[in-house]
A and B are shown apart, each in its own frame.
Chain A
Amino acid sequence: MLDRVVSQSQLLALVDELALSRRIVGPVRRSDRHFYGPVDRADKLDLDFKYCVYSPKAALFPADQTLFEFQTGPDGFQTSPVYDESPLALVGVHPCDINAIRLLDRVFSNTNIDEHYLSRRRQTFIVGIDCPTPCTSGVFCRDMKANEAREGADIMCSPLPPNGVSDDVRYGVVFGTDAGREFVLYSHAGDPPTVDDERASERYISDKARAFPQSIPYDVDALPELLERSYDSLLWEATARRCYSCGSCNLSCPTCYCFNTYDRLEMTLTSGTRQREWDGCQLRSFAVVAGDHNFRAKAAARLRHRIYRKAKWVKEREGVAGCVGCARCDRACTAKISSVEIYNQLAEEV
């Protein structure tokens, strides 16, 4: 059931309205590709994008973030935490990335609440845009059950099939949160859905179900058990021979959240900041402990660790899948190591 129908120009006007009180981050064209980037006006966005090279994760969990500032002196030290609470709107987020954000929400709020992430997240309004077809070849979001996002966005917009009346793209809007509902209804954007709109929406959903190919020939709910039996597979070593241990798969992954912390000192040497920066389990030094012992010294062990996280452990720990099938890891790998290929190869083994 739709809550509202808006045209693309009406959606852009809504974004402009958001821009009155929020920073806007959305798909912009650069180097023949699309990236999530900051804009000050909606018309600088390209809502007809297929996919963005990187996920919008950096807007919520920056690649290099200040955790606190410190000042040291003869009498000890003082610290003060740094939180970014400036309102933000993430526009044009696809279901895979919305599902990834749901995982980050969970990770940073369970057991120990990470205000550095959550203070940003609470101030973030998400305008989701659904995908009628796969955004590019190689994605396996349908297999990962992540090609739709029923929750996570404040409003979710699905491009409806043309109705023959208007050339403008029309979106069926579903409100994901009270904030989303209040925002759209208060601004009087668009129209309530008609019976024809509801029919178009049903057709959209059935067309979409046929448009996404199956890339993994089994239900991914079986993946944890499959991996359970693959710990000693030769595939890890065979595949990892090609691995540069460059971490590109980790760092381009919308669900990877591991980080490293370090202190940045001012030239005065008495003040500075504690920073956290994206880290990755594929990098060689990730599991080094004091005394230089490396718990995962071999690339094969690191590769297995990543795949187990993505397809088994994160789901077991957090209840949300650790992989959304966006295939950014596969595209980022200059050694052409493919996680979907690994999922398939493992299935052939057992």
Chain B
Amino acid sequence: MKPRIAIFSLTSCEGCSLAILELEDCLLDILGAVEIVNFREGMTERSWDIDIGFVDGAVSTPEDMKEIEHFRECSKVLVAIGACATHGGLNTLKNYQDESDYRKYVYGDQAARFPTIPAQPLSGVVDVDYQLPGCPMVKEEFLEFVKVVLTGRTWHLPEDPVCVECKRNGTLCLYEKGIMCLGPVTRAGCNAICPSYGAKCEGCRGVVHDEALKAAGINLREQYDVDLQDVLADLRMFGAYQEKTLP
């Protein structure tokens, strides 16, 4: 029997679930192998008997809280897709600001009608079986994930940093241009797409491992003349790292 798939969105731009529709070349192959039973961006029918539930977006409102618990209950396997779902994403920027300030500039005089809570990844609320990080989620990685699931294997995220992909691609290291790129501390799997266009890695796939972060703390202090606060701000952008100081 084909696995029954659902795709849900919490607080986010829903770009990650849209990315699935953008898999035009392979979409028909996927549809041949799975049955999509619940997908607001792509269909009107709804079913709650779900083998694999994909969720993009962060838990950022009381409503999100209720929904993610429901999704979890209905999905045998729950997969967080995109930086918001895996790390909290851009939504977590508000966690560093005064609540009344951001509520006022986001919702204006209607703020009272929109309750919010500090943003957090799905894993802060429910058990998550698999994570497909990135802003947006990497389409190719999603495809690989689907194949792995269909062949009864266990999905593993790459455990190497982005630098590995820059080197395999022959991309010029941004440090050679004096740019503090987050590639050395960020999980690979995006094919180092930002550096390949000359833009620094901003860590949207999260910190690859603590050892790298520890090395970053030492190197930025001892080898580079940079403001650690700037680097921290970069690390916080997609929720990759929430602590106050670098280890």
Known A242-B219, A242-B223, A252-B167; further 9 A-B contacts with Cβ < 8 A: A33-B172, A53-B172, A54-B170, A247-B167, A267-B30, A283-B160, A284-B209, A332-B173, A334-B175
Given A241-B215, A267-B30, are A64 and B168 neighbors across the interface (CB < 8 Å)?
yes
Given A284-B211, A336-B223, are A251 and B29 neighbors across the interface (CB < 8 Å)?
no
* A335 in contact with B167 (CB, 8 Å): no
Interface 1/0s, chain A 236-274, versus B by CB < 8 A? 000001111111100110000000000001011100000
List 8 A-B pairs, minimum CB-CB distance, nearest first: A251-B167, A63-B168, A267-B29, A246-B163, A244-B184, A246-B161, A248-B163, A244-B215
Q: Name which residue of chain B comes closest to A283, CB basis.
A: B160
Residues of A within 8 A of B (CB): 30-31, 33, 35, 53-54, 58, 63-64, 241-248, 251-252, 265, 267-269, 277-278, 280, 283-285, 299, 331-332, 334-336
* Among A64, A251, A278, A334, contact of B219 (Cβ-Cβ < 8 Å): A334
A265 vs B184: C-alpha distance when bound (angstroms): 29
Q: Does B185 sit within 8 A of A, measured CB to CB?
A: yes
Q: Does B231 sit within 8 A of A, measured CB to CB?
A: no
CB distance from B155 to the nearest CB of A (A): 13
Q: Does B198 sit within 8 A of A, measured CB to CB?
A: yes
Q: Does B233 sit within 8 A of A, measured CB to CB?
A: no
Interface 1/0s, chain B 130-165, versus A by CB < 8 A? 000000000000010001001100000001110110
| A/B interface sample: 19 pairs, CB < 8 A | A58-B170, A63-B167, A63-B170, A242-B218, A242-B223, A243-B215, A247-B164, A247-B167, A248-B163, A248-B164, A248-B166, A251-B164, A267-B30, A267-B143, A269-B33, A284-B159, A332-B173, A334-B184, A334-B219
* A335 in contact with B30 (CB, 8 Å): no
Given A241-B215, A248-B167, A251-B168, are A269 and B150 neighbors across the interface (CB < 8 Å)?
yes
Which residues on the B side are within 8 Å of A30 (C-beta)?
A: 172
CB distance from A167 to the nearest CB of B (A): 32
CB distance from B91 to the nearest CB of A (A): 28
Given A242-B218, A284-B211, are A267 and B164 neighbors across the interface (CB < 8 Å)?
no
Which residues on the B side are within 8 Å of A35 (C-beta)?
A: 170, 172
Q: Does B212 sit within 8 A of A, measured CB to CB?
A: yes
Which residues on the A side are within 8 Å of B166 (C-beta)?
A: 248
Which residues on the A side are within 8 Å of B33 (C-beta)?
A: 267, 269
* B164 in contact with A280 (CB, 8 Å): yes
Q: Does B47 sit within 8 A of A, measured CB to CB?
A: no
* Among B163, B169, B198, contact of A244 (Cβ-Cβ < 8 Å): B163
* B184 in contact with A278 (CB, 8 Å): no
Interface 1/0s, chain B 206-225, versus A by CB < 8 A? 00010110011011001100
Q: Does B117 sit within 8 A of A, measured CB to CB?
A: no
By DSSP majority rule, is chain B's interface helix, strand, loop, or mixed? helix
Q: Name which residue of chain B comes closest to A286, CB basis.
A: B160
Interface 1/0s, chain B 165-204, versus A by CB < 8 A? 0111110110110000001110000000000001000000
Q: Does B26 sit within 8 A of A, measured CB to CB?
A: yes
A242 vs B184: C-alpha distance when bound (angstroms): 12
Which residues on the B side are within 8 Å of A251 (C-beta)?
A: 163-164, 167-168
Chain B residues within 8 Å of chain A by Cβ, number: 35
A58 vs B170: C-alpha distance when bound (angstroms): 9
Given A267-B29, A283-B160, A334-B175, are A245 and B212 neighbors across the interface (CB < 8 Å)?
yes
A280 vs B163: C-alpha distance when bound (angstroms): 12
* B173 in contact with A244 (CB, 8 Å): no
* A335 in contact with B223 (CB, 8 Å): yes
Which residues on the B side are within 8 Å of A278 (C-beta)?
A: 167-168
A30 vs B183: C-alpha distance when bound (angstroms): 21
CB distance from A50 to the nearest CB of B (A): 14
A289 vs B167: C-alpha distance when bound (angstroms): 25
Q: Name which residue of chain B comes closest to A30, CB basis.
A: B172
A257 vs B164: C-alpha distance when bound (angstroms): 14
* B147 in contact with A31 (CB, 8 Å): no
A110 vs B18: C-alpha distance when bound (angstroms): 51
Which residues on the A side are within 8 Å of B185 (C-beta)?
A: 244
Given A63-B168, A247-B167, A335-B223, are A265 and B151 neighbors across the interface (CB < 8 Å)?
yes
CB distance from A75 to the nearest CB of B (A): 19
Which residues on the A side are within 8 Å of B30 (C-beta)?
A: 267
A284 vs B185: C-alpha distance when bound (angstroms): 13
Which residues on the A side are within 8 Å of B176 (C-beta)?
A: 33, 53, 331
A268 vs B161: C-alpha distance when bound (angstroms): 30
Q: Name which residue of chain A comes closest to B150, CB basis.
A: A269
CB distance from A44 to the nearest CB of B (A): 17
Which residues on the A side are within 8 Å of B219 (C-beta)?
A: 242, 244, 334-336
Which residues on the A side are within 8 Å of B159 (C-beta)?
A: 283-285
A18 vs B167: C-alpha distance when bound (angstroms): 29
